[in-house]
Amino acid sequence: VQIGAMQGGGAARAGPNVVLFLRDLTSAQRLETMRVDFVANASHELRTPLASLLGFIETLQGPARDDARARERFLGIMRVQALRMTRLIDDLLSLSRIELRAHVPPTQVVDVVPLARQIADSLGVLARERGVTIALEAEPGPQRILGDRDEILRVIENLAENAVKYGGDGGRVEIHVGSRPAEDGRPPQVEIAVRDEGPGIAPEHLPRLTERFYRVDAASSRQQGGTGLGLAIVKHILNRHRGRLVIESTPGEGAVFRALIPAHGEAKEPADQGQATS
């Protein structure tokens, strides 16, 4: 911890004003390390598809110049790489927008049930491609929170899309929306639980899943078109909503991701969210 003092003359007051400042250097250093890591990771993630694009451009200008079939195939691959970069940039922008609003509490009264229905419908095509069934179960009545509609849609979408992507072909994904009574000093919550029947996640990975760019299997994530930012976005949105993400998994038996957000009308004063840790 660094302790310092600054002196300033106060025209209207006799004697100097003394301002003490306390700074936790370890936490400042930790944040700086995280920032540097983040920039390095983001640059690396962008460089990889960019290098591939440049390689194909050179091939198209050189050896494959007159090969119509190769040109078609390479252009297809280039399109996929360009889309990957677009997704990554979109996710980076989403994260920074959410961080900018981190301390502005959301104000819309939002019923989570229709949002879950919207995501279950919109993921239908992806699910059908993989033979996955999406089931939505909602407890009767509206499940209201004070929130940001688009951000809550994003939470449900990221969790449900992961369940479809990683839950294994031919499986079942269940989205459950319900309420939880007050417990452990917490107000009543609205819970959005997304369950899959995939391979699950080994316990050592669970605490790190919401870190930016953390992936259990990077190759499989990239193959699925993942950016490694989905759960970091979920976590930041839930922080802004004074909510939390609870992940449970038994390897071999699937995973459950629970987003818990204070129910509308029951929320307390914003808790100190501290500095983002991922």
Which tokens in the block code for residue 47? Answer: 């460089």
Which tokens in the block code for residue 10? Answer: 């106060």
The DSSP-derived string for the chain is -EEEEEEEE-TTSSSEEEEEEEE-HHHHHHHHHHHHHHHHHHHHHHHHHHHHHHHHHHHHHTTTTT-HHHHHHHHHHHHHHHHHHHHHHHHHHHHHHHHHTTTS---EEEEHHHHHHHHHHHTHHHHHHTT-EEEEEE-SS--EEEE-HHHHHHHHHHHHHHHHHHS-TT-EEEEEEEEE--BTTBPPEEEEEEEE-SS---GGGGGGTTSTT--SSHHHHHHTT--S-HHHHHHHHHHHTT-EEEEEE-TTS-EEEEEEEEBTTT--SPPP--S---
Binder to ligand ADP among 49, 106, 171, 230 (CB under 6 A)? 230
Nearest residue (CB) to ligand ADP, 145 versus 232: 232
Integer Cα distance of 144 and 270 in angstroms: 18
What part of residues 190-229 is at the interface with ligand ADP (CB under 6 A)? 196, 198, 201, 209, 215-217, 221, 226-229
* Residue matched to tokens 């993989």: 130
Nearest residue (CB) to ligand ADP, 23 versus 44: 44
Output the smallest distance, CB 251 to ligand ADP, in A: 10
Output the smallest distance, CB 43 to ligand ADP, in A: 17
Integer Cα distance of 147 and 6 in angstroms: 41
- Under rule CB under 6 A, residue 87 binds ligand ADP: no
- Under rule CB under 6 A, residue 94 binds ligand ADP: no
Output the smallest distance, CB 227 to ligand ADP, in A: 5
Q: How many CB atoms lie within 10 A of CB 13?
A: 8
Nearest residue (CB) to ligand ADP, 145 versus 155: 155
What part of residues 146-185 is at the interface with ligand ADP (CB under 6 A)? 158, 162-163, 166-167
Q: How many residues bind ligand ADP (CB under 6 A)?
A: 21
- Under rule CB under 6 A, residue 45 binds ligand ADP: no
Output the smallest distance, CB 237 to ligand ADP, in A: 13
Output the smallest distance, CB 223 to ligand ADP, in A: 10
Nearest residue (CB) to ligand ADP, 221 versus 239: 221
Nearest residue (CB) to ligand ADP, 1 versus 219: 219
Nearest residue (CB) to ligand ADP, 120 versus 255: 255
Output the smallest distance, CB 53 to ligand ADP, in A: 20
What part of residues 122-151 is at the interface with ligand ADP (CB under 6 A)? none
Output the smallest distance, CB 200 to ligand ADP, in A: 6
Q: What is the dihedral of CA 174, 247, 119, 113, to 10 degrees?
A: 80
Nearest residue (CB) to ligand ADP, 111 versus 157: 157
Question: What residues line the site for ligand ADP (CB under 6 A)?
Answer: 158, 162-163, 166-167, 196, 198, 201, 209, 215-217, 221, 226-232, 255
